[in-house]
Amino acid sequence: MAKIKVAKIRISRFSMFGSDRPDRVTEFHTLDYFLNHYFSYTLDVGRSYQHERGNSKISDNIKSFKSLVSNLNKAKANSCTHYQNEYYELECEGFIDSKNLPENFNESNGFDESKVIVK
């Protein structure tokens, strides 16, 4: 029985003009899905600005959800000119048994919350 690590990430958005937008929480996804699909553009944009003075380096070797959230915040800070309007934080982390998944499972819809065992 293989366990697949999954997590939810909270995206908080703020405006400079005082109109805060509501937080958004992702579905449960694997680290691979977050890196290659959900947040790939945000990380790529952050990497493109990392060589400018004062910007943080974005890791190419992300191996945990905590590291992903840290690099997402650095990437967003690198790409914003005057203020950072999005912040990321780990909502919850858990795992799911691979035997509970259907054979033709597509991760783009996320994992069923009732089958996720939260740490």
Mean pLDDT, the chain, integer: 86
Strand 86-97 to strand 21-25: parallel, antiparallel, or no bridges (unpaired)? Answer: unpaired
Q: Which amino acid is at 16?
A: M
Q: Which of 86, 39, 78 is nearest to 58 (CA)?
A: 78
Q: Please give the pLDDT value at position 80.
A: 77
Q: How do the domains of the chain map onto residue ranges?
A: 3-118
SS3 annotation, 35-98: HHHHCHHHHHHHHHCCCCCCCCCCCCCCCCHHHHHHHHHHHHHHHCCCCCCEEEEEEEEEEEEH
pLDDT at 82 over 70: no
pLDDT tens-place string over residues 27-66: 899 999 999 999 999 999 999 999 988 889 999 999 999 9
pTM, to two decimals = 0.87
Beta bridge partners, 9, equal: 90
Q: In this structure, what DSSP letter does residue 34 have?
A: I
How far, in Å, CA of 95 to CA of 102, rounded?
Answer: 16
Q: In this structure, what DSSP letter does residue 33 have?
A: H
Q: In this structure, what DSSP letter does residue 16 have?
A: T
Please state the φ and ψ torsions of residue 3, each to the nearest 5 degrees.
-105, 135
